[in-house]
Structure formats: structure tokens, C-alpha cells
Amino acid sequence: MPKPPETARGGAVQLLNAVLIERRLMAEIIASGALQSLQPGDRARAQRLAVETLRGLERVDRLLSRHLRKTPPDPVRNILRLAAYELCSGGDPHGVVNAAVNLVAATKRGGHLKGLANAVLRKVAADGSAAYGELRVPHLPKWLRKPLQTAYGSPTVAAIEQAHFQTPPVDITVKNPDKLDHWAETLGAKVVLGGSLRLTSAGQISALPGYESGAWWVQDAAAALPVRLLGVIAGASALDLCAAPGGKTMQLAAAGAVTRAIDISPTRLSRVEENLRRTQLQAQLEAQDALEHGGESYDIVLLDAPCSATGTIRRHPDLPYAKDGSDFFELIELQGRMIDHAISLLNPGGRLVFCTCSLLPDEGECQIEEALKRHRGLKIDHSALETDIVDSQMKAAPEGLRLRPDMLSDKGGLDGFFISILRWDGQ
């Protein structure tokens, strides 16, 4: 059990160790309480430092390699990585180097390397900032880069990597669309994808106007699009099969649908409950395996299926280091079974919204292609997808909408997402 961090930098190093040594996702680490000993402001800073270090990790490692004869033990290396990122992003050299040396001195069996840390980081402080900016944009790992190059081509993958290297803006969904202009003006935000508000410098989210009263919630613009494409759904019965953290559940409820939300994790479902309480929206919640849900049928079934989450790397740069692609086949097989089960829960004429936050066609376009072969009564609802709130390049796939991080690049990019809306004739 790691010793609880005493400072934001110590917390950031703990996160880096868990991601890069233990291969754990940062969200899982934070949910386990790793940073609970820190004050809220320090927790936020620790997370930001770790995220940005991971975002530029390839550059950081190339820079450090110029000053290291051999690679130090991983805990020490991660301290150097954090400090090098801070130095290259304008951190005070004296404070950054001293803090790093103290962290190295406190590591188990690493204290004898504090002199090395001091010497290396002083060299980085001297010329690192300029050298950092001259290095190439960090590449995705080969296990992901190669299939994406096959799917989209090398120039598009390079554009995706450029988008991943930029700190993403914050997108929010407004509970009452009639208040969109009001909240855009109040928050100094811009409207993207027909109804999401984008903030380029949000600061502390919970301190912003409208958060406490539940007037809006944080939700990437790509993730908000599937429900928005359904149009008017007031009075419709809707099932959100994999609901947590609840953004789409809240959208369905806010649009007037009679909503049931299911998630296999009671812990994650508690987050949905908290979000519903804050936004004063109503939905019936059940902790249940989506594949075991039955007994009722619905006008709308929304399946944001478990997937590789490769579309979220711009916001979660830990993912390429915590995963290696070995679970892809299992996820793809699960998605197919969940689609089949979701169809069995539809009323005749009902609609299935299938989406994944993945960049891989096997978790999007290919799933729909195969589902259409298995179910003769299933048809793509092209009228829902032919919307003017997305541009033509998002409509390139006949099976649905394909969103990539490099799209809307002039406005801050998007998460990678695939969306299809299908209608079931009951046969």
C-alpha cells in the first residue's frame, strides 16, 4: 500500500506509478481514494500534473534520455518525468528541482539517486523548454496506432495524435435547451454540435454558475450527440442499458422520456443517483447486468456499450499505458451479445441507439453491419442521422456517424465516437 501523498506533486507521482508500473486506469486509482489525504485543490493539481505528464510522456522521455546513461528505477524515473514536464511547461526551476530531489530521497531504495536527480533536472531546466517544443507530437502505441492507420490512413492518425496532444476544453449539456443562449452568455461558452456548450478555461467546475442548481452537467459534445439525434421523445419509454456516469440518462429524462437506467456497478450507479439529485431529474435506477434485464419493452433502448474507450484518449492519456489491446476480442464479442439483447427489449417500431467511445471500426461500423445481417427486422434510421448539426465528414460511414478527435480541431476537437440509430419492426 503506497504511503498517502503529502503534496500535490507526491499525489501526481503516485498516480504515475499506478498507471505506468501497475498498468491501472487513473479513474480507477482516484475512485479507490488514492488522493483522499490531499485537500481538494491539491487533489485537482495532482491529477492535472499527472494527466499532462502522460500527455507529453514521449517528449519527456526523449528529453530525459539525453541526460541519463541508464534508466533509473521506475519510481525515480516517474519523479524525473513529472519534474521534467513541469520545467518544460514553465515551472519555477528552483522549486521544481528541490521538490523532485526530496521525493527521490523519500523513495524506497532510491535515496542514493537524489544527486543524479538534481544534476539531470538542472540540465533539463537549462535547455529543456526549447528542446521539448522541437520534439515530435507523441505517437500512439503500436498496438493502437497500426489498426487506426489501417482504418483511417497515416495522415488522419497524425491529426488524431495532434488532437490528443492538446489539452481539451470542457463541454457541458444544459438541462433546458431553451436556456442554451443564457448559459452560453453566463459561462462565456460557445455552442458546438447543435447544443453543447464549450468552455476553453473552465477552472473549478463546481464553482461555476448553474452547477449547484443543476442547470447543466459536464458531458463531452460527442457523447451528448446520440440522445440529441432522437429529436422529440417526450412521453416515450426509454432504457439506458449502461448508464454510468449518467449524462445520457439525464438527457433522456430532461427530454421528457420515462427513463430507466441500468448499470452493473452499484458504485458507479450511485454517481448517476447523485447527478440526478443535483439536476432534479427523475429516472428509475437499477444495479443489474444489462444482459439479465428483461420483462419489459421500450420505445427507446440506448446502448453505450462497454468498449476499448480509445476515443477518450484526449481526456484520458493514461489509457494507452494502462491497456494493451488484449481485451479487444472479448469486448467486441460482448458488444454483439448486448446488441442482440437490446433488440429483444424494443417495442415494435422502437429505436435502438448504439454507440461506443471507440476509434476502432470493429467496435462501431462492423458491429452494425453484422447486426443487420443477424436481424432482418432491423433498419438504420437514416432520417435521424441526416442532421445539419454535424458536418459531412462525420457521415462518411453508411452504418452511422463516425466522430474523431481531429474533427472540430479549430474549436478544440472531440472525443472519438461511433453512433448509429436503428429501428426495429418487431419481426
**127-131 — which CB contacts under 8 Å span 24+ positions?**
128/63, 128/84, 128/87, 128/88, 129/87, 129/88, 129/89, 129/90, 131/63, 131/66
**In CATH, which superfamily holds the domain spanning 219-424?**
Vaccinia Virus protein VP39 (3.40.50.150)
What single DSSP character describes residue 402?
E
Catalytic choice (88, 242, 357, 366) = 357
Is CATH 1.10.940.10 the classification given to domain 8-134? yes
Strands 216-218 and 170-174: antiparallel
pTM (global) more than 0.75: yes
Q: What is the mean pLDDT of residues 52-79?
A: 95
Lowest mean pLDDT of 121-130, 139-148, 224-233, 234-243, name the range.
Answer: 121-130
pLDDT in tens, 318-360: 999 999 888 889 999 999 999 999 999 999 999 999 999 999 9
Residue 32 has what pLDDT? 87
* Mean pLDDT over each residue of the chain, to the nearest integer: 93
Q: Dihedral of CA 204/168/325/395: which sign?
A: positive
* Residue ranges per structural domain of the chain: 8-134, 219-424
Nearest to 9 by CA among 90, 104, 117: 104
Question: At 2, is the pLDDT very low, low, confident or very high (cuts 50, 70, 90)?
Answer: low
Residue 127 has what pLDDT? 83
242 is annotated as an active-site residue: no
Q: What is the mean pLDDT of residues 107-111?
A: 83
pLDDT in tens, 158-205: 999 999 999 999 999 999 999 999 999 999 999 999 899 999 887 788
Residue pair 104/110 in contact (Cβ under 8 Å)? The answer is yes
The residue assigned the cell 529543456 is 128
The secondary structure element, H or E, covering residue 411 is: none
Nearest to 342 by CA among 379, 305, 384: 305
